[in-house]
Amino acid sequence: MSQLLIAIGTMIVGVGACLLYFWGTNKALDTIYPARGENAGANILRANSIRPWLFLGPAIVILTIYLVYPVFNSLLLSFKDPAGVEYEGLANYKQLLADAKFRESMRNNILWLVVVPAGATFFGLLAAALTDRIRWGNIAKSLIFMPMAISFIGASVIWKFVYDYKGEGSQQIGLLNAMTTSLGFEPQAWITLPFWNNFFLMVILIWIQTGFAMVILSAALRGISEETIEAAVLDGASPLQIFFKIKVPQIWGTIAVVWTTITILVLKVFDIVLAMTNGQWGSQVLANYMFDKMFRASDFGLAATSALVIMAMVIPIMVWNIMEARKDFK
Amino acid sequence: MSGMAGQRPALSWAVNLSVLALVLLWTIPTFGLLVSSFRDADQLSVSGWWTSLTTTDRNIVERAAAPTDDGAQTQVGEVWVIEGNIFGEDVGIVSRFGWRAQEPEAFAAGETAEMRDGQTMTVEADGSYRLESPEEWEGRRGQRIFVTSAEPPKFTTDNYNQVMFSEGLGKSFLNTLTVTIPATIIPILIAAYAAYALAWMQFPGRALLLAIVVGLLVVPLQMSLIPLLKLYNGVGIGKSYFGIWLAHTGFGLPLAVYLLRNYMVGLPREIMESAKVDGASDFDIFRKIILPLSFPALASFAIFQFLWVWNDLLVATVFLGNNEDQLVMTGRLRELLGSRGANWEILTASAFVTIVVPLIVFFSLQRYLVRGLLAGSVK
């Protein structure tokens, strides 16, 4: 219990310190450059050019330490030995390319990058389109959205239970194998089937992310102007035609946003693979490969290099996001 | 509700059924977990959770009372008798029984089985057994009895007692709370000030800073782990709560600044201008006008950050230790998956404990979450 009190205490102290900082620096600025007296005009100008940086200060410092500096430091580490001391040139990159497990991770990551965003966006669009047409749509949405609140590791336990396998002859307690055997097929240890196990793991992430896609796409669908739809109805278009030819083309931008957001998530997710297979049976992915190199092999050089590979895959989306956002800023 | 006009009943049925199918697909796995976590461990391991309301067939091996125990056997006329009930205090209905491991289901309940040397065994449906022998029973161990019993459904909260108090999940629950509370609240104020500056103050480099924030939104955490671990060890805050609070603050900040800035920029300009005319400073405007008006956006971010920190495994594994005082629930669940991988009663109950708080937050504050998602991704 005492650590909880310390946590609450820290929170109060932390928030208090922030308040004190913002109040104190602003007070100091107003004292140094008072907005009255003979130099009032010049003082106001000066104070106004400094004040934004007081507001931004803490955020800039924290972002620099926690996100900007590490990017450059990782770059340096990727040229160093496992302990991160001696430079050894491109050795890490060569080792990475020679590692069969890394190539397997790359192949699997590409599969994940294709299947998960496609699956989640597809089901999300389907759920959005259908739930907007029925009376209990909001309840349905809530329930489909629910897995968003569940941790990846919790979701992994949920699905490991669904995929559970017991030897042939015993009663199956996993839902999937119970269905398989009741249809007359043999039970399978799903998550150990090479290649196909990847898809059983992807199902988990699709299950989690569909709700996100649904919420965003549903808002976009509701934003479509009634006029275009009414015109199509008058022209005798069927509901399917209206959906695919009128509605979907109008929300391409949103679909792209959903797709890229999920893509980024796919690159970062490691918990599911860690919990389900830990990369065995041909199911390794980059994020878990990196974790493995960092924790089990304690090879900081190689781990930093694999993190850079993930970063490199994110960069195109990052650039696209920035360009899209800049249109808004102007 | 667009497109409702002219909807045919058949189509309406198809839509309703499709949504029902989707909803079932999305809820059944979690529902199975919840049901299983309340089932008796023995039943859970031999029957699917969907059968939990029906009786379960279970194979039991019990020993009859040992012949050397006081009063275990009585002489009735010519024969020596041992009697008892294999269920003890449990309930069940015996369908088949046997006296040899090779034929555990050789006899129906109520029949009398012939054993060696004229000995006999009878097991009734209610579990009571009677062993008879022409000579006195010998040995320190009782005769084995194999039965197939149909047990009524059993539900229990024992699994939760066990995971909370014996498996250490209760302590981990506190650890998770310890991580989550400061890590959710501290970034908010820092982000709010920065967001205000980016939204409403004029200064050179503003566009560049905004672009950097948008860029940092997608930087993978994996990039930060090793450099920060080295930095932390250098400064001496490796594996401490202080370190993880700061780390979560840093990782949550880009989203916080971005969300809040987008929200603040949409607030009406007139309010701020009239306040300025009245002589209010930026500091006053922020404190008295912007902060209260931004409550929905602050709430959205707080929920995001809460869910993310509570559910996080990666940052906690890297920046916290593996000991009793620091292991968070996600980390504990991962350990249990390794050590108790076949004990589904432990895993299901533990998993449910870890997800119940986020689920409550999710269902009670869903409105803010949705609003935040929309502000964060649709432009």
What pLDDT, in 10s, does the model give residues B111-164? 888 888 888 888 888 888 888 888 888 877 888 888 888 777 788 888 888 888
pLDDT range class, residue A210, cuts 50, 70, 90: very high
Candidate from A70, A148, A300 with C-beta closest to B224: A70
Select the residue of B12, B201, B223 nearest A52 (Cβ to Cβ): B201
Chain A contact for B208 (CB, 8 A cutoff): no
Give the chain B residue nearest A219 (alpha carbons). B374
Question: Is pLDDT of A9 > 90?
Answer: no
Give the C-alpha separation, B175 to B189, whole Å. Answer: 24
Which residues of chain B does A285 touch, with a Cβ-Cβ cutoff of 8 Å? none
**CB within 8 Å: B378 and A254:** yes
- Dist. CA B315–CA B249, nearest whole Å: 12
pLDDT at B379 (0 to 100): 38
Backbone angles phi, psi at B121, to 5 degrees: -130, 135
pLDDT at B1 over 50: no
- How far is it, in rounded angstroms, from Cα A274 to Cα B178? 25
- Provide the pLDDT for residue B377: 60
Q: Is the pLDDT of residue B254 over 60?
A: yes
Residues 212-241 of B with CB under 8 A from A: 212-228, 230-231, 241
| Residue B76 pLDDT exceeds 70 | yes
Q: What percentage of chain A carries pLDDT values higher than 70? A: 99
- Higher confidence at residue A63 or residue B378? A63
Residues in B closer than 8 angstroms to A210, CB to CB, are: 26
pLDDT bucket at B376, cuts 50 / 70 / 90:
low
Encode pLDDT of A146-190 as tens digits.
999 999 999 999 999 999 888 777 788 888 888 888 888 888 888
Q: What is the pLDDT of residues B77-124, one digit of tens each?
A: 888 888 888 877 677 788 888 888 888 888 888 888 888 888 888 888
SS3 string, chain A, reads CHHHHHHHHHHHHHHHHHHHHHHHHHHHHHHHCCCCCCCHHHHHHHHHHHHHHHHHHHHHHHHHHHHHHHHHHHHHHCCECCCCCCECCCHHHHHHHHCHHHHHHHHHHHHHHHHHHHHHHHHHHHHHHHHCCCCCHHHHHHHHHHHHHCCHHHHHHHHHHHCCCCCCCCCCCCHHHHHHHHCCCCCCCHHHCCCHHHHHHHHHHHHHHHHHHHHHHHHHHHCCCHHHHHHHHHCCCCHHHHHHHHHHHHCHHHHHHHHHHHHHHHHHCCHHHHHHCCCCCCCCCHHHHHHHHHHCCCCHHHHHHHHHHHHHHHHHHHHHHHHHHHHHHC
User: Tokens representing B210?
Assistant: 């905004």
- In whole angstroms, give the CA distance from residue A305 to residue A97: 11
pLDDT, tens digit, 9 for 90 and up, residues B314-333: 999 889 888 888 889 999 99
- Predicted pLDDT of residue B12: 84
With contacts defined as CB-CB under 8 Å, which chain B residues touch A52?
Answer: 197, 201-203, 206
Confidence of residue A11 (pLDDT cuts 50, 70, 90): confident
Amino acid identity, residue B52?
S
Q: How confident is the model at residue B309 (pLDDT cuts 50, 70, 90)?
A: very high
B34, two tokens? 């919840």
Taking the Cβ of residue B364 and every Cβ of chain A, the question of whether any pair is shorter than 8 Å is answered with no
Q: A256 to each of A121, A250, A317, B259, B376, how far by Cα in Å?
A: 9, 12, 11, 19, 14
Count of A–B CB contacts within 8 Å? Answer: 362
Mean pLDDT (chain B, rounded): 85
Instruction: Identify which of A152, A175, A216 has the shortest CB distance to residue B32.
Output: A175
Q: How many CA atoms lie within 13 A of A106 on its CB side?
A: 12
Contact A66 B222 (CB under 8 A): no
Residue A281 has pLDDT above 80, yes or no: yes
pLDDT at B347 over 60: yes
| Per-residue pLDDT band at B2 (split at 50, 70, 90) | very low
pLDDT, one tens digit per residue, over A287-324 is 999 998 888 888 888 889 999 999 999 999 899 888 88
Can you give the pLDDT at residue A330?
60
Q: What is the pLDDT of residue B148?
A: 83
Q: Can you give the pLDDT at residue B147?
A: 85
User: Are B33 and A15 a contacting pair at CB < 8 A?
Assistant: no
Residues A307, B225: C-beta atoms closer than 8 Å: yes
Taking an 8 Å cut-off on Cβ atoms, the answer to whether A67 and B203 are in contact is no
Band (pLDDT 50/70/90 cuts) for residue B378 is very low
Convert the pLDDT of each residue in B268-300 to its tens digit.
888 888 888 888 878 888 888 888 988 888 988
Residue A184's pLDDT is 83
The pLDDT value given to residue B139: 78
pTM: 0.85
Inter-chain touch B203–A4, beta carbons under 8 Å: no
User: Do A275 and B334 meet the contact criterion of CB atoms below 8 Å apart?
Assistant: yes
**Interface contact flag, A326 B211, Cβ < 8 Å:** yes
Q: What pLDDT, in 10s, does the model give residues B18-49? A: 999 999 999 999 999 998 888 888 888 878 88
* Per-residue pLDDT, A329: 66
Check pLDDT > 90 for residue B168. no
| pLDDT, tens digit (0-9, with 9 covering 90-100), for A69-79 | 999 999 988 88
Best residue in A8, A43, A151, A200 to probe B by mutation, most B CBs within 10 Å?
Answer: A151
Could A4 and B230 be called an inter-chain contact, meaning their C-beta atoms sit closer than 8 Å?
no
Tell me the residue type at A104: E
ipTM for the whole complex: 0.88
Nearest beta carbon to residue B29 from set A56, A158, A314: A158
